Amino acid sequence: RQEQYLKLRDVPAVTRDGVPITLQLNAGLLVDLPHLAETGAEGVGLFRTELQFMIAERMPTATEQQSLYSAVVAAVGDLPVTFRTLDIGGDKILPYMNAIEEENPALGWRAIRIGLDRPGLLRVQIRALLKAAGGHPLKIMFPMVATCDEFVRAKELVEREKAHLSRHGHPLPSDLKLGAMLEVPSLLFQLKEICAAADFLSIGSNDLMQFLFASDRENRRVADRFDPLSPPMLRALKMVVDEAASSDCQLTVCGEIGGRPLEAMALIGLGYRSFSMSPAAIGPVKAMLLALDAGRIAAFVREELERCGGGDTLRPKLLQFAESH
């Protein structure tokens, strides 16, 4: 199997009916980056910057942050990379930060909420990213955005750092794109606004599932209770892809859902064209899409979503489709 996938490395990711699909990697440390060459991925769609913070014994300095980001920019070469700003809190704990007792950490003070309340932390990171990518294209995205306003405030922070660096004669990124992760359901009801404000959106399906169904992703009793291939999630994902297309906002899926072949097939049926996933998922997803007719799966998903009664998962139907095509 592994060898079979290795052979697919240089095969372009295009469906049988000629629809190109972008497959990128999720990464978090330098050691993840050799997977780019191994898998033939077209870039890093999610670089989880909190990993550096989580394995350190104290807060990484600005210089340490910048040197990691520079190394990442150098390692990807001409391929694109999307850095996600610190996503701490919830299930991601920093041992050296004063642990705050929270009843519901997943719903608590985390990710961009910390970044906006402690702009010192976020500003240092943004400055490090901008400096590391001087002269190169750069994409930055913010985690756990719940309101469009939060994104706009984060964007202003980036603008301020850019102005500061250029005043001091630092070269800026040649092209800077700012995006929001879509993982909090409230953003589903601000799609027009967020698509207008952001250059791109990236679906964090792990958290989106957790919050959409109110089921803790860390709690085994409920983590797999609800199926992403059931109408509530599929309809939510359809709203996003439709709005992103009509407002010309780039869209990627970086949650684990995109790295499972059956789920990725359904997403292509909904209109998704870009995925970022763990290295091991690239081969199986590519093998699936090379055999897929995007037009047919689109018609199938549309019909099944119209026909279904509401709660029932489409998984058996999609499995049938996969087996018979």
Give the binding site for ligand PEP (CB under 6 A). Answer: 46, 48, 87, 183, 204-207, 254-255
Out of 42, 150, 199, 207, point to the residue binding Mg ion (CB under 5 A).
207
Nearer to ligand PEP, 42 or 50 (CB): 50
User: Taking the CB of residue 215, how many other CB atoms lie within 10 A of it?
Assistant: 15
The yes or no reply on residue 89 touching Mg ion (CB under 5 A) is no
CA 93 from centroid of its chain's CA atoms? 20
Mask of contacts with Mg ion, 156-195, x by CB under 5 A? ---------------------------x------------
Choose among ligand PEP, Mg ion, none what residue 254 binds, the Cβ cut-off being 5 to 8 Å by kind.
ligand PEP
Choose among Mg ion, ligand PEP, none what residue 205 binds, the Cβ cut-off being 5 to 8 Å by kind.
ligand PEP
Please answer whether residues 158 and 193 qualify as being in contact, where contact means their C-beta atoms are separated by less than 8 angstroms: no
Choose among ligand PEP, Mg ion, none what residue 48 binds, the Cβ cut-off being 5 to 8 Å by kind.
ligand PEP
Minimum separation from the CB atom of position 208 to Mg ion (A): 8
Distance, CA of 49 to CA of 17 (rounded, Å): 37
Phi first, then psi, for residue 146 (nearest 5°) are: -105, -25
Helix (H) or strand (E) holding 319: helix 315-324
Please answer whether residues 182 and 240 qualify as being in contact, where contact means their C-beta atoms are separated by less than 8 angstroms: yes
Nearer to Mg ion, 32 or 207 (CB): 207
The yes or no reply on residue 204 touching Mg ion (CB under 5 A) is yes
Choose among Mg ion, ligand PEP, none what residue 247 binds, the Cβ cut-off being 5 to 8 Å by kind.
none
Nearer to ligand PEP, 47 or 69 (CB): 47
Please answer whether residues 91 and 50 qualify as being in contact, where contact means their C-beta atoms are separated by less than 8 angstroms: no
Distance, CA of 32 to CA of 40 (rounded, Å): 13
Choose among Mg ion, ligand PEP, none what residue 150 binds, the Cβ cut-off being 5 to 8 Å by kind.
none
Nearer to Mg ion, 109 or 304 (CB): 109
Choose among Mg ion, ligand PEP, none what residue 261 binds, the Cβ cut-off being 5 to 8 Å by kind.
none
Nearer to ligand PEP, 142 or 321 (CB): 142
Distance, CA of 143 to CA of 111 (rounded, Å): 6
Nearer to ligand PEP, 143 or 173 (CB): 143
Minimum separation from the CB atom of position 47 to ligand PEP (A): 11
As a three-state string, the secondary structure of 145-211 is CCCHHHHHHHHHHHHHHHHHHHHCCCCCCCEEEEEEEECCHHHHHHHHHHHHHCCEEEECHHHHHHH
In order of 62, 94, 159, the CA distances from 57 in angstroms are 15, 9, 31
Choose among ligand PEP, Mg ion, none what residue 284 binds, the Cβ cut-off being 5 to 8 Å by kind.
none
Tokens for 67, please give them: 């040197």
Nearer to ligand PEP, 90 or 271 (CB): 90
The yes or no reply on residue 90 touching Mg ion (CB under 5 A) is no
As a three-state string, the secondary structure of 281-301 is HHHHHHHHHHCCCHHHHHHHH
Where along the sequence are the contacts to Mg ion (CB under 5 A)? Answer: 183, 204, 207
